[in-house]
Structure 1
Amino acid sequence: MEGNDIAVYRPGELSGADRAAWTAIQSQAHLLGAPQLANPFLSPEFALAVGACRRDVRIAVVHEDGAPAAFLPFQRTAFGVGRAVGLGVSDAQGLMHRPGFQWDARELLHACGLSVLEFDHLVEGQKPFEATLLSTHPSPVVDLDEGYEAYLSRLRARSPNFVRRTLTKERKLGRDVGAVRYVHDERDPAALRVLMAWKSAQYRRTGRSDRFAQAWIVQLVERLFHTRTDTFGGLLSVLYAGDRPVAAHFGPRSERVLAGWFPAYDPAYAKFSPGLILHLHMIEEAAGASMAYLDLGRGEKAYKNSLKTRELTVSEGWVARPHPVALGHLARRAPVRALRNTVLSRPELFGPADRLLKRMGRIRSGRR
């Protein structure tokens, strides 16, 4: 990176020219051999939204020959420990860069004042950051470039019972509850609050940590809901039966990619599989809007396996400089992450762990 100029800014200090350059690099990425950079979690809007909700966000801008060549948003502690921006809620992380750009990871960390930088959803093609990866994970996607009817035909050929059951349940939902109506871009903030309440209840019911108990995540989702540009937006999709919302999803979209993020449904209507019905409508609308794919996100879920057409790969790990802070951080973090990933990747361990979490969730919510 010799000869490159690296400057680190607070989100509000990023110039309009730099932001426009970031957007232009992302818009052209799929044409220039880096389609993984089209993910909305790598957009400037997402980084700036996290920065508006957290005080620890910084953005490194690398200039090459006087022009912006790369952007790295991150979170930094006072001791120089770095985390990918939005770590824990971001499903795509890495350096946004123009084609052919080369970088030295340790030099970049030094310029950012970091001893270590941690990822849990590092996208493919980030070779300088791949030296100390702990693990790689599949991230299922639904390809949309051939249109919805072509997708549905492939899905029927692969899983005819799945498609038939889901469409039958949609008709039954309409008969038993009320006319089924799907809104791809719901603008009512009350519907967003309903979704977050469902999701919080689901987290508690299954023994997971409630993300919406963290104020900054609530603020982030609300901010993204109101963020709309030509190249980015927070998209709330809702399935109604009569006047009742029965399932919903909120996630960011870029020009080419819709990201699966927070799906949930009303458990009172679980027998109708409203979440699956919702996803089929989302896929149809996204295909009609010329999206390249729906990224369902890392994580083993039955509905993802049923809907996916292929898988991307995301990685977990960190890049570090020789530094006492980095050594101390890795000594604490590595065993925990390794243990968690072992449990998640082995069904004979995941099953008992999942049942224990759900039992704890029932106890915590006063149910047996």
Structure 2
Amino acid sequence: MDVTIHRFDELSTALRAAWHRAMDESPAYGNPFLAPEFASGVARHRGGARCAVLRENGEPVGFLPYERTVWGVGRAIGLGLSDCQALVHRPGVTWDAHELLRACGLSLFEFDHLVAEQRPFSRHVTGTFASPVIDLEPDESGYAPWLRGAYPGLAKTTLKKERRLGRDIGEFRFEFDERDPALLRTLMRWKSAQYRRTGRMDRFARPWIVDLVDHLFQVREDHFTGVLSVLYAGDRPVAAHFGPRSRTVLAAWFTAYDPELHYYSPGLMMHLRTAEAAARHGVTVLDLGRGDKEYKDWLKTRELRVGEGFATRPHPVSTAHRLWRGPVRGLRNTVNAHPGLRTPADRLLKAVGTLRTSRPLRPGGTDTPAR
């Protein structure tokens, strides 16, 4: 196995086509976060982004996008943002993890959403987690019949709230692929406020993430398209979702709603409307992403498994990094796995969020995401 390392601006049209072919040949690699378009978007903002190209008999058969620090620590491309990570390869291709790290100049490779089929990395996985998905089938009978058939327990309440929203605010409508960038800014503003209210890190306070989402919104390719979906009541946006789609998979990424309308359950409406419309647009799987959320248990049809861990070579840097990162991950996973710990932790974060949102902004501050 020959391995060459490339910057993303060096990837030729032929290499990208080979990468796309590897995605098409295995359902495990059909996720849009595994597309070269996503990795290239991240690489615009991350100077250490590289791609390892694996070749057999001179033919490119595998692709590993990653980020590398000056100390030789590697991480999956977009770690912390990407909900699916893998070395994308054609069927039957094998590799050795240590040899791959050596070729990449890495002492360690960190991941947190690794697909289960990555057997050469399996001995380095420290934990596996459920990633719920919805299997979709197109139904031309309309939204209400689809909802009653797919989710009979939710249908009556959801349809009632939609009718109420239409009476109270304005005619209810849904756009699956909204192209107005102003609505993307509205979504980011809502999501930023949600992060602050719940005490979470505000991703949209980071200019590079805002710029990345802006860029991905403009990408319109077969294997990666940025899809913005919006719920309206009259002319008023009520809820929105932005996520990438490939030919067959739509990833649930950023969903938010107008907090003034929370009593209508617009977030749940958003997920249900998106699922039904995605099926009509050729999507077969809606990936809800790793995480324990009640609405995911309501909506999922099955679960994938994703792994987190550290693939390492013997090296002082890899040892130090694991000693630093391992306990932090372990504590987080322990809290998330036990409701008795997770509920108090959520309360604490919300209390922090209340303090954060009650503080006046500094002079010249803004509620909108930073550029």
TM-score tier, shorter chain, comes to: over 0.9
Amino acid paired to 2:306: V
TM-score by length of 2: 0.93
Amino acid paired to 2:25: Q
Say yes or no: does 1:67 pair with 2:64: no
Q: Name the residue aligned to 2:159.
A: 167
Indicate which of 307, 324, 327 corresponds to 1:332: 324
CA deviation string 1:271-313 (max 9, x = no partner): 1111111222111111112211100111111211111111111
Q: Name the residue aligned to 1:223.
A: 215
Taking the TM superposition and a 5 Å limit, the aligned residue runs for 1:280-299 are 280-299=272-291
Indicate the RMSD between aligned Cα atoms, in angstroms: 1.7
- Alpha-carbon distance in 1 for matches of 2:171, 2:145: 26
Q: Name the residue aligned to 2:309.
A: 317
Say if 2:4 and 2:52, in contact at 8 Å, map to a contact too. Answer: yes
Taking the TM superposition and a 5 Å limit, the aligned residue runs for 1:70-149 are 70-145=62-137, 147=139
Q: Name the residue aligned to 2:16.
A: 19
CA deviation string 1:159-188 (max 9, x = no partner): 634221111100100000000111111111
CA deviation string 1:212-260 (max 9, x = no partner): 1111111110110000012210000000101110100000000000000
Paired positions, count:
359
Deviates more, 1:153-162 or 1:66-75: 153-162
Say if 2:244 and 2:251, in contact at 8 Å, map to a contact too. Answer: yes
Query: Structure 1 residues 181, 57: CA separation in 2 closer, same or farther (over 3 Å shift)?
Result: same
Q: Name the residue aligned to 1:354.
A: 346
How far residue 145 of structure 1 moved from its aligned partner, in angstroms, is 3.4
> What residue ranges of structure 2 are gaps of 5+ in the alignment?
360-371
- Alpha-carbon distance in 2 for matches of 1:57, 1:162: 43
Helix, strand or coil: the match of 2:358? coil
Say if 1:205 and 1:361, in contact at 8 Å, map to a contact too. Answer: yes
Say yes or no: does 1:48 pair with 2:40: yes
- Alpha-carbon distance in 2 for matches of 1:149, 1:314: 35
Deviates more, 1:143-152 or 1:170-179: 143-152
Indicate which of 336, 340, 345 corresponds to 1:344: 336
How far residue 14 of structure 1 moved from its aligned partner, in angstroms, is 1.0
Say if 1:148 and 1:284, in contact at 8 Å, map to a contact too. Answer: no
How far residue 28 of structure 1 moved from its aligned partner, in angstroms, is 2.3
How far residue 262 of structure 1 moved from its aligned partner, in angstroms, is 0.2
CA deviation string 1:177-221 (max 9, x = no partner): 000111111111000000000000000000000011111111110
How far residue 147 of structure 1 moved from its aligned partner, in angstroms, is 4.2
Deviates more, 1:184-193 or 1:49-58: 49-58
Query: Structure 1 residues 116, 151: CA separation in 2 closer, same or farther (over 3 Å shift)?
Result: farther
- Alpha-carbon distance in 1 for matches of 2:30, 2:123: 23
Query: Structure 1 residues 148, 280: CA separation in 2 closer, same or farther (over 3 Å shift)?
Result: farther
Amino acid paired to 1:130: S
Amino acid paired to 1:28: E
Helix, strand or coil: the match of 1:365? helix
Query: Structure 1 residues 28, 149: CA separation in 2 closer, same or farther (over 3 Å shift)?
Result: farther
- Alpha-carbon distance in 2 for matches of 1:146, 1:225: 25
Deviates more, 1:161-170 or 1:241-250: 161-170
Q: Name the residue aligned to 1:32.
A: none
Say if 2:25 and 2:91, in contact at 8 Å, map to a contact too. Answer: no
Helix, strand or coil: the match of 1:53? coil
Amino acid paired to 1:338: G
Query: Structure 1 residues 331, 280: CA separation in 2 closer, same or farther (over 3 Å shift)?
Result: same
Query: Structure 1 residues 182, 155: CA separation in 2 closer, same or farther (over 3 Å shift)?
Result: closer
Amino acid paired to 2:328: V
- Alpha-carbon distance in 2 for matches of 1:100, 1:250: 34
Query: Structure 1 residues 222, 154: CA separation in 2 closer, same or farther (over 3 Å shift)?
Result: closer
> What residue ranges of structure 1 are gaps of 5+ in the alignment?
30-34
Say if 1:155 and 1:307, in contact at 8 Å, map to a contact too. Answer: no
Amino acid paired to 2:170: G
TM-score by length of 1: 0.94
How far residue 154 of structure 1 moved from its aligned partner, in angstroms, is 9.2
Helix, strand or coil: the match of 1:138? strand
- Alpha-carbon distance in 1 for matches of 2:187, 2:146: 31
Say if 1:75 and 1:83, in contact at 8 Å, map to a contact too. Answer: yes
CA deviation string 1:43-82 (max 9, x = no partner): 0100011011221110010111110010000000000000
Q: Name the residue aligned to 2:2.
A: 5
Helix, strand or coil: the match of 2:303? strand
Say yes or no: does 1:236 pair with 2:236: no
Say if 2:53 and 2:62, in contact at 8 Å, map to a contact too. Answer: yes
